[in-house]
């Protein structure tokens, strides 16, 4: 039979264990500098699915290093005013919200000081496609890019040149660096003619010809192509990166490249996120 002293000892042990657990949660909350919520769809294109999988793992890992919490969901219904107000930064990994209520919630969130980081396909829209040009504020005002016009193929690296070097997100980033392989997009609107847009990086002419085809229009030989930019009116950064190279021809759908495998590019993404999360 257990003695009363033994039972008391177990009770004290359980109490202290519970206290330690509570304290650890409190310390963890105190050490979390900001909260990030990422949205994704993760369907159809193997390249985008590959990127989403990689991104969720990478952001979780760097969150532990830079003291932010990271959650990711494919449930776009969570993009509502009452839920997203608990987060400092939203990330769109591959698509955009389609519901009018979700769009209004996001627009109000950004207009009230929320932060946003977007990648690659999150800016895509095209008339008569599955992602039609039907959200003027997002594509023409917020992003400034308008609808998609064309892309390079297949995914290849590009040499990027930094612009607006004094921007906080660019501190410690060299003037020129090589990005990871990507399908690069061209847009309907000229971002340089938009006074609200601040370009942070663009494709350096030394990259041309960019792309391997086989179609001639999939190979760029000249032009001005911004690939990272922000809008002066919001805490946001858009990255054109986010399309891994995939073994389509071999039928394996195996990832042939990674987006988060470049020290300088990774640093630029982290710096952008930390800048976005800063409280004004």
pLDDT digits (tens, 9 = 90+) for 183-194: 999 999 999 999
Averaged pLDDT, 137-153: 98
Does the domain at residues 34-277 carry the CATH identifier 3.40.50.2300? no
pLDDT digits (tens, 9 = 90+) for 117-140: 999 999 999 999 999 999 999 999
Looking from the CA of 277 toward its CB, the CA atoms found within 13 Å total 24
Residue 3 binned pLDDT confidence (cut-offs 50, 70, 90): low
Residue 22 binned pLDDT confidence (cut-offs 50, 70, 90): low
Q: What is the percentage of the chain residues whose pLDDT exceeds 70?
A: 89
How many Å apart are CA 90 and CA 110, to the nearest integer?
A: 10
Q: Which residue has the tokens 């064309």?
A: 150
pLDDT digits (tens, 9 = 90+) for 72-110: 999 999 999 999 999 999 999 999 999 999 999 999 999
Mark out the alpha helices in the chain (DSSP H runs).
4-31, 46-66, 81-84, 100-111, 136, 263-277
DSSP, collapsed to helix, strand or coil, labels residue 224 as coil
Residue 244: left (phi > 0), alpha (psi -120 to 50), or beta? Answer: beta
Which residues lie below 8 Å from residue 24, measured CB to CB, with a gap of 6+? none
Domain residue limits, the chain = 34-277
CB 54 within 8 A of CB 260: yes
CB 157 within 8 A of CB 181: yes
CB 131 within 8 A of CB 250: no
Residue 213 binned pLDDT confidence (cut-offs 50, 70, 90): very high
pTM passes above 0.75? yes
Residue 98's nearest CA partner among 62, 119, 129 is 129
What average pLDDT is seen over the chain? 92
CB 156 within 8 A of CB 211: yes
């Amino acid at each position: 039979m257990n003695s009363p002293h033994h039972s008391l000892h177990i009770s004290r042990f359980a109490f202290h264990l519970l206290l330690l657990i509570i304290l650890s949660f409190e310390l963890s909350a105190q050490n979390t500098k900001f909260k990030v919520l990422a949205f994704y769809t993760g369907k159809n294109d193997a390249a985008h699915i590959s990127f989403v999988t990689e991104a969720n793992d990478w952001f979780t890992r760097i969150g532990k290093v830079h003291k932010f919490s990271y959650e990711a969901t494919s449930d776009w219904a969570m993009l509502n005013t009452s839920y997203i107000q608990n987060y400092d930064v939203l990330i769109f990994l591959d698509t955009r919200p389609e519901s009018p209520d979700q769009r209004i919630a996001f627009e109000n969130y950004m207009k009230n000081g929320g932060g946003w980081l977007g990648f690659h396909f999150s800016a895509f829209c095209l008339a008569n496609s599955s992602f039609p040009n039907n959200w003027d504020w997002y594509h023409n005002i917020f992003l400034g890019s308008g609808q998609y016009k064309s892309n390079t193929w297949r995914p290849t690296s590009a040499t990027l040149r930094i612009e607006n070097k004094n921007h906080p997100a660019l501190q410690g980033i060299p003037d020129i660096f090589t990005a990871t392989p990507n399908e690069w997009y061209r847009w309907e609107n000229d971002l340089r003619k938009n006074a609200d847009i601040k370009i942070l990086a663009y494709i350096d002419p030394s990259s041309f010809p960019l792309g391997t085809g086989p179609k001639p229009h999939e190979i760029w030989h000249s032009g001005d192509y911004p690939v990272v930019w922000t809008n002066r009116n919001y805490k946001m950064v858009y990255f054109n990166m986010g399309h891994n190279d995939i073994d389509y021809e071999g039928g394996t759908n195996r990832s042939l490249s990674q987006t988060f495998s470049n020290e300088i590019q990774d640093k630029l993404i982290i710096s952008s996120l930390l800048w976005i999360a800063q409280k004004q």
